[in-house]
A = this chain, B = another copy of it.
Amino acid sequence: MAAIVGPKNIVTDADAMVPYLKEWRDLFRGKAQAIVRPGSTAEVAELVKLAARTGTRLVPQGGNTGLVGGQIPIAEGREIILSLQRMDKIRAIDADSDTMTVEAGLTLQKAQAAAEGAGRLFPLSLASEGSCTIGGNLSTNAGGTAVLAYGNARELCMGLEVVLADGRIWNGLRQLRKDNTGYDLKNLFIGAEGTLGIITAAVLKLFPLPAARATAFLAVPSPEAALALLNTAKAGAGGTLTTFELMPRIGVDFVLRHASGARDPLSEPSPWYVLMEVSSQSTTGLDEAVEAFLGEALEQGLVTDAALAGSLTQRADFWKLREMLSEVQTYEGGSIKHDVSVPLHAVPEFLARATAAVEAMVPGCRVVPFGHLGDGNIHYNVSQPVGADKAAFIAGWSAMNQAVHAIVAELHGSISAEHGIGRLKRDLLPGVKDPVELALMKTLKATLDPQGILNPGAVLAM
């Protein structure tokens, strides 16, 4: 491998390997023989050919920000991590076609900046955007806060370049909005977490920058009211609804307690809040339209109080309440996480049933469910009771997951809405998947990676 990438692009020193092997929340440490850092698609292809010839297991890695251990080998340490970070070129920006062709190792933030430099929007937006990479975003079909209007990473990709398990390169870097010439291979690799092929480059969709944007922080009486508000906002908030995030009072309390400079935009506390953003391609009239919409929502009782951001600073303040929600939970002791989705209509029922279940399991636990209501995707996090033993609470992680996931299953939902399966949720899959679907997945894996050298143990058991 050193002969392919050059000796300085192989890392075997234990300390130097740590950044590639350490999970960022320190949930676990991985093990690997080495890290190899190719600089081109041709080098990736040569590496995979060599791996295929020698039966060497490869774990592709981007920014190492994944939340389910898809990017870190945790088995006996025979794996080699194939880091795409050196492949960070922007190959082309074609503003007339609203496309951008980039390599897999480019960070999301640099992709966003490049689009903006060309007067366009690349809408994918995640907490980890400073370090996560486009290859990782596509391999995990990343979601984030702009899915409601623009879709998941899958919907933002027009074409791919992929190195297959035998080292062949599939060049599917198409810039076409319509192309019906055969099977859709692209979507097979998107969301496959590097187990079917290694994404080396992609054509991304660009959008016009919004001409105007209105951001509102809203007090809502209940999840039911939030859902009704969502449906009226989609139809008539005066523009394109781009954000609709649900937050409970306790989450806002956590942020106000732990995040410096955070403040409550509203004078009275409310059991629930919605952060709503509406975009428009018209420079005029949006604020007035959103104000009129909110006036009606107040009259109907869907909203009990509202603040509309009057400046970019105020907008940033509203967003801070949402963005700090994950971090502040760490200051409140142990937190058991779920990344679930259900059909939109079922979100209120899910919240009620899951909360009854976990409160019965751990009396005094503090439920902090928040997230992308517009996508039916709730980060259903549960903080330990005040003063309880953290380790004892965390020891109940699996049991609580099981109880929550059982309710998700009854409501025809998903146990991983946007984070993927990786290694952490792999063994949950047989319990929640249709057996025919799981069998099809295994058939595809055996067909496209018969030796099992690509990210073994992720998504499917070896």
Contacts and interface: CB of A to CB of B under 8 A. Distances in A.
Given A94-B343, A236-B211, A436-B169, A192 B183 contact: yes
Contacts of A99: 343
Chain A: interface size category: 35 or more
Contacts of A282: 236, 238-239, 285, 289
A368 B249 CA distance: 61
Contacts of A441: 182-183, 185
Interface in A162-184: 164, 168-172, 174-184
Contacts of A417: 176, 178-180
A135 interface: no
Interface in A354-371: none
A415 B181 contact: yes
Interface stretch (A253-261, A310-318, A427-435): A427-435
Contacts of A419: 180
A239 to B, nearest CB: 6
B184 A180 contact: no
B372 A178 contact: yes
A440 interface: yes
Contacts of A178: 143, 147, 152, 341, 372, 375-377, 414, 417-418
Interface string A231-245: 100111111110000
Nearest to A171: B434
A182 B429 contact: yes
B437 A176 contact: no
A453 interface: no
A210 to B, nearest CB: 9
Contacts of A152: 178
Given A170-B436, A172-B434, A180 B94 contact: no
A149 to B, nearest CB: 10
B281 A235 contact: yes
Given A96-B227, A434-B170, A341 B236 contact: no
Interface string A105-144: 0000000000000000000000000000000000011010
Nearest to A170: B436
Contacts of A98: 231, 234, 344
Nearest to A195: B183
Given A180-B419, A184-B191, 5 more contacts: A97-B376, A172-B437, A181-B425, A207-B234, A208-B234
